[in-house]
């Protein structure tokens, strides 16, 4: 079993913001694999169960807001009795160009507060992560908060969708072949 957690912020005001690409990626996985999310109050997360390539997968979207994502992840890990190597985190990355995807098997938070919350709550950096780029030409001139909460411009929507599609593809490949075979 895998727990695949997309990071984002709950609420309509955050829909279609750069910080919610993790939510968008797990939404796309759920749609593709006929799963639907329901709010699970014991985790403070929306969860969906499905099978991908024969493996049971729990998809999750913490409803704790980004900076407290670790609280929900820790609760789900305990409930499902799942180890950190089977917890995959999907999130936006301001250091990657819009539309790109990179996979890391371990590492620090690189300043991402949602990832840092997970590290703090579960006590390790040893978990795979799928990073979806959100950087645009204006990133150098705006604060990090302004960038991550910014909506996509019309001309950026295709690149953002491409990043989501790539993330879904890489997650499916990792589920089929193993995380060590994902090369992005």
Catalytic residue among 19, 33, 112, 181: 19
CA nearest to 138, candidates 123, 124, 150: 150
Cβ within 8 Å of residue 137, ≥6 positions away? none
Return d(Cα 140, Cα 133) in angstroms, integer: 14
> Catalytic residue at 19?
yes
Token digits of residue 30: 């759920």
CA 66/CA 10 separation, integer angstroms: 9
- Catalytically active residues are 19
């Amino acid at each position: 079993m895998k727990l695949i957690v997309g990071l984002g912020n709950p609420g309509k005001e955050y829909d279609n913001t750069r910080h919610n690409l993790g939510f968008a990626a797990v939404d796309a996985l759920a749609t593709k694999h006929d799963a639907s999310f329901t709010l699970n109050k014991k985790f403070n997360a929306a969860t969906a169960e499905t099978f991908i390539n024969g493996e049971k997968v729990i998809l999750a979207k913490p409803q704790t807001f980004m900076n407290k994502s670790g609280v929900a992840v820790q609760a789900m890990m305990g409930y499902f009795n799942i180890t950190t190597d089977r917890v995959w985190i999907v999130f936006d990355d301001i250091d990657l160009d819009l539309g790109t995807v990179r996979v890391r098997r371990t590492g620090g938070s690189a300043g991402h507060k949602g990832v840092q919350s997970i590290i703090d709550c579960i006590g390790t950096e040893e978990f795979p992560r799928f990073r979806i780029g959100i950087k645009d030409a204006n990133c150098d001139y705006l604060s990090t908060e302004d960038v991550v909460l910014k909506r996509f411009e019309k001309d950026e929507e295709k690149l953002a969708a491409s990043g989501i599609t790539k993330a879904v593809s890489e997650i499916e490949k990792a589920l089929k072949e193993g995380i060590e075979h994902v090369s992005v």
